[in-house]
Structure 1
């Protein structure tokens, strides 16, 4: 239940994982001294599915789309 990619377009890879309570997704990035959480997406209710990612063609650079479903039935999509 994780996905890796450059989700924020800064040229660095992030590992996107659910928080322990599954209420948010945390972006983790490798640093020289270990791993750091660099940002977080709030879901509003617990995660119910795996993370679905797709590469979106966008001119010279591609973007990553992300979709999840929460336990209250919300389909959340970021692109």
Structure 2
């Protein structure tokens, strides 16, 4: 990149503080196996976009989402009563 006069993108912290409120909600609902689309009042495509951003920001996929949230201080198991 340097030879082409470009710089790499700055690394962003991989934490839930980088997630929007809607992304956090979609991630929490998904981990708890709840219907995120119905709970958020959007369609499945919108939830897919939200989760795609979550996976990219946290560097994980659906199978590692719960662990990624725990590693960043957002344990989905502790959120059950916060709906």
TM-score range, shorter chain: under 0.3
Q: Which has the higher strand share?
A: 1
TM-score, normalised with respect to structure 2: 0.23
TM-score, normalised with respect to structure 1: 0.24
Q: Which has the higher contact order (CA 8 A, sep 6+)?
A: 2
Q: Which has the higher helix share?
A: 2
Larger Rg: 2
